[in-house]
Amino acid sequence: MDNQKLETIPEINNRKGILYMLTASLLFSIMGLMVKTIGPTLPASELVFFRNTIGLIFLGISIRNKPLKNKGGKIYLLIFRGLIGTLALLLFFYNAATISLAEATIYVQTSPIFIAIFSYFYLRENISLFSWGAILIGFVGIYFVLNPGKILLENFTGILNGVFTALAYTSIRGLSAYYEIRTIVLSFLLLGIFFPVILFLLPDFIFSPYFLVFKGIWRAPNLQEFFSILVIGITAFLGQIYVTKAYGTGKGGIVGIAGYSTVLFSIPGGIFLGDQIPNLETLAGIILIIFSGAIVSLEKNK
């Protein structure tokens, strides 16, 4: 008789959740690679426009097959979530094109640190002393990744990326009781199409060196760029599906830690495209940020 202990259902679900999240991380890293490939020739605003247009097509098919059902309310928060999510995506696409892919990705992964802070002040959630210590470690990691010798704009957009991503996720928690997830995603996609169009209509002189991230000059993509744009839209859509599956299957804290694998996938991909190998200071910062986010996530899901 086999004396090996049988896996429990929660253990099986956690394993599935981790596999789903690893798949999502791989897809998001592929999206980042495509952005880095064409980001220097196409503005971030145009990439955001195409990315959300492709996502809207897929979501429209889903809504047609199964109409939306919402309680309604907090419409301004819904608009805020769409706008702040668009800004976060715009900043990530800009960062992916201007700095190493590993750094651009780790800035996104600082969001759990800011989510914990926003949840404390906005949602009045308690944070343990241990978690506050982890948050402090996370900020030390951010300092190492920033490397004060870099261009100020890169530092600024990187931090804002993490902050805006955290605000977007925090707002979802305030909207989930009023709207189903597809409606929340729809607000993000629609604002992600409308906002770039506004940028396209603005005159060029508005985009000073400090606002290059918002540069909205339209340039028709060539065939190779259009293929990369399709990959960006499809991988982003599929990645979001697997993230949803991951959190719907496994325990949030464990699944969230698996999400940091995006950084591990992005480092070799970025080096392949010409990024420098991260120095010891940057690697130390990445490790501290991952450690901080992992502790915060686990403590929050106890």
Is residue 209 situated within a structural domain?
yes
Mean pLDDT of the chain: 85
Per-residue pLDDT tens digits for 110-155: 988 888 888 888 777 788 888 899 999 999 999 888 865 555 677 7
Is residue 87 situated within a structural domain?
yes
Q: Tell me the backbone φ, ψ of residue 53, rounded to 5 degrees.
A: -65, -45
Tell me, what DSSP letter sits at residue 177? T
Is residue 11 situated within a structural domain?
no
Q: Express as a percent the part of the chain with pLDDT over 90.
A: 34
Is residue 103 situated within a structural domain?
yes
Is residue 2 situated within a structural domain?
no
Q: Is the pLDDT of residue 103 over 70?
A: yes
Is residue 148 situated within a structural domain?
yes
Number of structural domains in the chain: 1
| pTM across the whole model | 0.87
List strand residue ranges (DSSP E) for the chain, in order: none
- Per-residue confidence (pLDDT) for residue 3, from 0 to 100: 47
With CA atoms as reference, report the closest residue to 232 among 94, 60, 22, 27.
27
Is residue 15 situated within a structural domain?
no
> What's the rounded mean pLDDT across residues 222-228?
91
Count the Cβ atoms, other than its own, within 10 Å of residue 80: 18
Is residue 56 situated within a structural domain?
yes
**Model confidence band, residue 40 (pLDDT cutoffs 50, 70, 90):** confident
Per-residue pLDDT tens digits for 229-252: 999 999 998 888 888 777 767 665
Range of the domain at 203: 20-300
> What's the rounded mean pLDDT across residues 52-70?
91
